Homo-oligomer: A and B are copies of this chain.
Amino acid sequence: MKRTHIFAKPPCITSSAAVGGKMEADGPMGKYFDKINEDPYLSTDSFEKGESKLQKEAMLHMMDKAAISENDIDIVFGGDLLNQCAGTTYGIRELGIPFLGVYGACSTMAESLLLSAAFVQAGYAGKAAAVTSSHFCSAERQYRYPLNYGGQRPPTSQWTATASGALCVSAESKAPYVRGFTAGMIVDPGITDANNMGAAMAPAAWETIHCFLTDTAISPDAFDMILTGDLGKVGSRLLCELAERDGFDIRSVHRDCGTMLYDFDTQDVHAGGSGCGCSAGVLCGYIIPRIRSGEFKNILFAATGALMSPTTNQQGESIPSISHAVWLSHDLNIHPNI
């Protein structure tokens, strides 16, 4: 059985919304967010509660834009970077929607999206939602140092986005279509430096993208973008080199959410953005509306996740990574050879 699954009757994304923080507002993607929160606490008393509120806001905006309520959604897939995925469980607990929690680190939006589309296609849900988030302050103190410590960041490090994205997949027939997916497998290149996630994740991203391109026999040029999540500058360069080694030139079509979210000239984010909210924000705020309008015809969205924890890192373990790919299109012109 081929790893890539192409939907016979592709479901579609009927609505999406992105919510961000101040840093995200100041970047090139700022104007595409549905809501910006200047206050990192979002009027709560902790960063973690603020992150949960980000997810709730993204879900509410997404439902508002589609003129639907929580009763119209049959299932929600979601997760985040916080221990025990608490950003999600506390964010959506009041909505009363059946919930299946996922964990894919920064690949969570791709995983949630593919599961939503798979459930709608199979008839398990009429409408399925995907939601995820990250928050600079809650991630920083959980994964690295207390914020007040002011820890030094090496050039390969990335900046965790304060953002959330939510979308709804439905069994209708209109753009953007979810055409199919390739579920990733864990790839561990042996990197132990938790400040160099890009290098740790690039091989997993290429493994999945390579599998998708080979399984479907679609040329990279057919895509407006092969859009990875959060490889940043370092990982993006490595990805293109790995592709070249396998005889694929993806340089002209490759883009990375981690390098799109911030302005490298004016924002001190080192190798770029990261976090579940980075690719979710770029996808839900910028990409999906442009596939709907026809500005983009085909996007291969391959979010990436580093599956380590601070504990495994402190115990000297290397960083296993994963990437899931989802093909989104404006029309149904391309027929993959599968």
Q: Which residues of A contact B (CB under 8 A)?
A: 1, 3, 5, 45-46, 48-49, 74-75, 79, 81-86, 89-90, 92-93, 96-105, 111, 115, 118-119, 121-122, 124-126, 142, 183-186, 188, 307-312, 315, 317, 320, 322, 324
The residue in chain B whose Cβ has the minimal distance to the Cβ of A108 is B101
Q: Is the CB of A99 within 8 A of B322?
A: yes
Chain B proximity of A1: nearest CB distance (Å) = 5
Chain B proximity of A48: nearest CB distance (Å) = 6
Chain B proximity of A200: nearest CB distance (Å) = 12
Q: How far is the CA of A124 from the CA of B322 in the complex (A)?
A: 19
Q: Is the CB of B102 within 8 A of A100?
A: yes
The residue in chain B whose Cβ has the minimal distance to the Cβ of A78 is B103
Q: Please give me the 8 A-B residue pairs with the lowest Cβ-Cβ distance, nearest first.
A: A122-B122, A84-B309, A89-B307, A98-B183, A101-B103, A93-B186, A86-B309, A83-B83
B residues in contact with A315, CB < 8 Å = 45-46, 48-49
Q: Is the CB of B310 within 8 A of A83?
A: yes
Q: Is the CB of A320 within 8 A of B183?
A: no
Q: How far is the CA of A312 from the CA of B188 in the complex (A)?
A: 31
The residue in chain B whose Cβ has the minimal distance to the Cβ of A46 is B315
The residue in chain B whose Cβ has the minimal distance to the Cβ of A305 is B101
B residues in contact with A124, CB < 8 Å = 5, 118, 122
Most buried by B among A46, A74, A90: A90
Q: Is the CB of B307 within 8 A of A97?
A: no
Chain B proximity of A175: nearest CB distance (Å) = 23
Q: How far is the CA of A124 from the CA of B1 in the complex (A)?
A: 9
Q: Is the CB of B309 within 8 A of A83?
A: yes
Q: Is the CB of A86 within 8 A of B308?
A: yes
Q: Is the CB of B122 within 8 A of A111?
A: no
29 pairs, A vs B, C-beta closer than 8 Å: A1-B125, A1-B126, A3-B98, A45-B315, A49-B315, A79-B103, A82-B309, A83-B310, A84-B103, A84-B105, A85-B307, A86-B312, A89-B322, A90-B317, A92-B186, A98-B183, A98-B184, A100-B111, A100-B115, A101-B102, A101-B103, A101-B307, A101-B322, A115-B115, A118-B118, A118-B119, A118-B122, A118-B124, A122-B122
Q: Is the CB of A320 within 8 A of B100?
A: no
Q: Is the CB of A82 within 8 A of B186?
A: no
The residue in chain B whose Cβ has the minimal distance to the Cβ of A107 is B101
The residue in chain B whose Cβ has the minimal distance to the Cβ of A44 is B315
Q: Is the CB of B74 within 8 A of A1?
A: yes
- Further pairs besides A1-B126, A48-B315, A101-B103: 15, Cβ < 8 Å: A3-B74, A48-B312, A83-B83, A83-B311, A84-B307, A86-B308, A89-B186, A89-B308, A90-B320, A97-B185, A99-B186, A100-B104, A101-B102, A122-B124, A142-B311
